[in-house]
Amino acid sequence: MSDSATSSIKVVPRPSHERGNADYGWLKTFHTWNFAGYRDPRFENFGSLRVLNEDRVTPEEGFGTHSHREFEIFSYIVSGELEHRDSMGNVEVMKRGDVQLTSAGTGISHSEKTHGDREVHFLQIWATPSTKRLPPKYYTRHFTDAEKRDKLIRVVAPVGSDDVNNEREGTGPTPVTSPVTLWATILSPGTDLKHRVPRAGAKAYVHVVQTSGHNPKASTGATVHVAGSQLREGDGAFIYAENEGDEITLSNVGDGDAEVLLFDVE
């Protein structure tokens, strides 16, 4: 890994082509942290974040019924439609802009499969909960492209945070029982956004969504500068801030839109 620094912000890039990746025919997947057959001792977790997979699943395929415990599991839908079914009786078809969270707690079984005749592209994100042995819960939220346009909006936030409600469906961020907040934006070319870190010693992770297509060998598509480091689609960056009030700057220096996720983590 290489790193760079701007002011008191340290950035450690995570190039897309260095992520774990696999092509199973029905599933094309990238793993930012250890998952399935991908193992690297440097990438076990980052704070409460444990999994960030970027998945593409072909029509009529998906993940059959399987079980989870003690993870907060959420899906961020990029394109296509994803059908969710679980042991609590939830059945839902999710589309672009949807964020769905399963708080597995003491245990839940679910399946996720492509709905319709188009490939589904989504990010599967897992975090470890702050409190164990909680009852399972299920939440969905929807965020439009217009809401994200050139603004960082909170799409996931800890239970008890401002504007977070405990309804199954509703407005505001999706509630999570982990110390992680997920911000999302669609940056227009030539646009800069600044994000102020919540405290001294804060950590963040930035991911540029691979919207222009699956490419396991090299980064392509949108180009985003993050505190002086250049990221392309699929790339990420670990960010370490020394001081309260430090700002992370996201700049779209390419000629097309860039969809970017930013995680504040503990």
Q: Tokens 């499969």 map to which residue? A: 113
User: Which residue, among 227, 249, 231, 252, has the nearest Cα to 13 in the 3D structure?
Assistant: 231
- Say if residues 231 and 13 touch (Cβ distance below 8 Å): yes
Helix (H, G, I), strand (E, B) or coil at 18: helix
**Cα–Cα distance for residue pair 9/5, rounded to 1 Å:** 6
Query: Two tokens at 21?
Result: 């990746």
- Summarize the annotated binding site for Fe cation as residue ranges: 66, 68, 110, 112
CB atoms near residue 10 (< 10 Å): 16
**Paired tokens of 132:** 């164990």
Q: Tokens 């002011």 — which residue?
A: 7
Identify the burial level of 54 via C-beta atoms within 10 angstroms of its C-beta, where 0-12 means exposed, 13-18 middle and 19 or more buried: buried
Residues annotated within the binding site are: 66, 68, 110, 112
Residue linked to tokens 């250049």 = 230
Q: Which residue type, as a one-letter code, is found at position 241?
A: A
